[in-house]
Structure 1
């Protein structure tokens, strides 16, 4: 129990985001929330990249955003499976296709460490892990602690990209 609390605090509750930096693309993980999309666009407008990659589900309402013209390139992906591991695999394929060597990944704080581990398995380039700036209530933090704990077990039992 003590080990779970210590590891949970270190890798989930107290995960430390990186400072934004110039990259080949900004990748907004998860089926993107409005807050995460706003954060991604702000980072692009601040000059960190000119390419946005975002995860959408087949029924997501982001289709209009994906088709619209922007002052930057947008690539919308639906990973299979629609999981963090699937997103890391999708990124690795995109990076290879476009010869990209760096990415800024945006997700919520409790997901930062696990997302980084999956991306490191699939991509050998530079990773910049940034939080989406979302304020979460205490109940959400508790749910995320339990969810991410189980997800870390799945990660530990999986191999390869």
Structure 2
């Protein structure tokens, strides 16, 4: 005669399975999202700040230019095309793009409004302005994916930097999901 597993035993097995799955996902995503290889800044032709949350990346890009790493900063401004959206503040970007600096600052609207669109614009600007080396500023969970996508778009020298942004624990959960989905999509897309 077959014995049925008790509901308590079944719940325990489900709980252990969930804990195991979370542990595996955390381990697999640790390097690309939490501790990706981040480059050190070096002299470049331009600093390109990728769009996203206003998390200090814009200021970090400006600081790099003030420190003499490149003669120009180029901001990706996906907010103008879609309004405020979940991250963007068009007024903030307008102030950055129209500010007065001791170096050149320009902005562009990526098409599409993704890292792939930003990669296309980097390629276009590099061809137009004869760039050989670009510093790219994003935030830590996006470093690996942006490097992967931008390498598909442009064969110049990319130095990918992470802004000094600290994320709360719950944001890391979302970034694991979001960045993994973005990687999965990027695998099947060219630039």
> After TM superposition, is the score higher than 0.5?
yes
Question: How far is 1:34 from its partner?
Answer: 5.6
Q: Could you tell me which of 160, 164, 167 is aligned with 1:129?
A: 160
2: CA distance between counterparts of 1:4 and 1:87?
28
Q: Unpaired segments of 5 or more residues in structure 1?
A: none
- In the alignment, is the contact (CA less than 8 A) between 1:107 and 1:132 conserved in 2? yes
- In the alignment, is the contact (CA less than 8 A) between 1:17 and 1:112 conserved in 2? yes
Q: Which residue of 2 aligns with 1:7?
A: 28
Report the 3-state secondary structure (helix = DSSP H, G, I; strand = E; otherwise coil) of the residue aligned with 2:151.
helix
Q: Which residue of 2 aligns with 1:157?
A: 188
- In the alignment, is the contact (CA less than 8 A) between 2:138 and 2:163 conserved in 1? yes
2: CA distance between counterparts of 1:54 and 1:32?
13
- In the alignment, is the contact (CA less than 8 A) between 2:55 and 2:165 conserved in 1? no
Report the 3-state secondary structure (helix = DSSP H, G, I; strand = E; otherwise coil) of the residue aligned with 2:56.
helix
User: In the alignment, is residue 86 of structure 1 matched against residue 80 of structure 2?
Assistant: no
Larger radius of gyration: 2
CA RMSD between the two structures: 1.6
Please report the TM-score for the alignment, with normalisation by the length of structure 1. Answer: 0.92
Q: Describe the shift of the 1:15–1:34 C-alpha distance in structure 2 as closer, same or farther (beyond 3 A).
A: closer
User: In the alignment, is residue 46 of structure 1 matched against residue 46 of structure 2?
Assistant: no
Q: Describe the shift of the 1:142–1:34 C-alpha distance in structure 2 as closer, same or farther (beyond 3 A).
A: closer
State the Cα deviation string for residues 63-93 of structure 1 (Å, max 9, x = none): 1321233101011010011101111111110
Q: Which residue of 1 aligns with 2:47?
A: 26
Q: Could you tell me which of 3, 16, 21 is aligned with 2:37?
A: 16
Q: Unpaired segments of 5 or more residues in structure 2?
A: 1-20, 84-89
Higher relative contact order (CA 8 A, sep 6+): 1
Q: Which residue of 2 aligns with 1:35?
A: 56
- In the alignment, is the contact (CA less than 8 A) between 1:16 and 1:109 conserved in 2? no
Q: Which residue of 1 aligns with 2:9?
A: none
2: CA distance between counterparts of 1:65 and 1:120?
27
Question: How far is 1:142 from its partner?
Answer: 1.1
Please report the TM-score for the alignment, with normalisation by the length of structure 2. Answer: 0.78
User: In the alignment, is residue 75 of structure 1 matched against residue 96 of structure 2?
Assistant: no
